[in-house]
Amino acid sequence: MKLYYATGTCSLSPHIVALEAGVVLDLEKVNLARTPHPTETGADFTAINPNGYVPALELDDGSVLTEGAAIVQYLADLRPESGLVPRSGTTERHHQQSWLNFIASELHKMYSPWLFHPEYGSQAQDVARNMLAKRLAFVENHLAKSGPYLTGEQFTAADAYLFTIVGWSAFTKVDLTAFPQLRAFMDRVAARPRVREAMHAEGMKIAA
């Protein structure tokens, strides 16, 4: 299996989940700075994912699975004993999917593309930051009541995704000062050995 990734982007989430699950992946880096995006072996990434975005997971049967929320569930389901996602068909699994969808649609797609492209203008970026402040306050309250992780005591795929996306806050000037539970969550996840390993493998800066 091969994960197509770009350093520090949303593909960090499946990278973390694979390491936490003990699933061995080949990695192929995609250069998002060039269009169309080439991979590090010189392949045209749009031939792998026509939408041109990471993450994409090439399965052993040669098919390609896209969309981060689906990829993390696929990887975690390969190792059910890891507890990274609850068993399929359970209410707990539906809560996990609810979080993954919330992170994808309410957080991920609010940070990106809006806050990564100054050409959208400060008005659009202010709207995105205001909306994120509301959504992050919701996460803050939830962690205060039901933490330390999103679904309680167990670290899951949703936590890997939340960590990855909220990790963009400093770069995108999203202020986390009002969210102490969320900041503690970020420190907690950042301290996990497999999370550090994934970040190191991607060449990201790791807090001491």
Ligand X SMILES: N[C@@H](CCC(=O)N[C@@H](CS)C(=O)NCC(=O)O)C(=O)O
Residues contacting residue 166 through CB under 8 Å, at least 6 positions apart? 107, 136, 176, 182, 186
Structure tokens at 90: 């359970």
- Alpha carbon distances (Å) from 13 to 45, 177, 194: 19, 24, 11
Q: How many residues contact ligand X, by CB under 6 A?
A: 11
Is 167 near ligand X (CB under 6 A)? no
Is 53 near ligand X (CB under 6 A)? yes
CB of 4 to ligand X, least distance (A): 9
Q: Which of residues 95-124 bind ligand X (CB under 6 A)?
A: 104, 112
* Segment near ligand X (CB under 6 A); pick from 46-54, 74-82, 87-95, 154-162: 46-54
Is 52 near ligand X (CB under 6 A)? yes
Closest CB to ligand X among 32 and 133? Answer: 32
* Segment near ligand X (CB under 6 A); pick from 48-56, 132-140, 155-163, 176-184: 48-56
Q: How far apart are CA 204 and CA 199, in angstroms?
A: 5
Among 3, 10, 143, 195, binds ligand X (CB under 6 A): 10
Structure tokens at 163: 């960590």
Q: Give, rounded to a whole angstrom, the gap between the first and last alpha carbons of the chain.
A: 31
Is 38 near ligand X (CB under 6 A)? no
- Alpha carbon distances (Å) from 92 to 28, 83, 171: 33, 11, 33
Closest CB to ligand X among 3 and 19? Answer: 3
Residue 61 CB neighbours (<10 A) = 6
Cross-strand partners of 56: 4, 66
Cross-strand partners of 28: 4
Closest CB to ligand X among 147 and 162? Answer: 162
Closest CB to ligand X among 10 and 174? Answer: 10
Among 2, 67, 83, 135, binds ligand X (CB under 6 A): 67
Closest CA to 2 of 21, 20, 29: 29
Is 32 near ligand X (CB under 6 A)? yes
Q: How far apart are CA 184 and CA 135, in angstroms?
A: 17
Is 185 near ligand X (CB under 6 A)? no
Contact positions vs ligand X (CB under 6 A): 9-10, 32, 52-55, 67-68, 104, 112
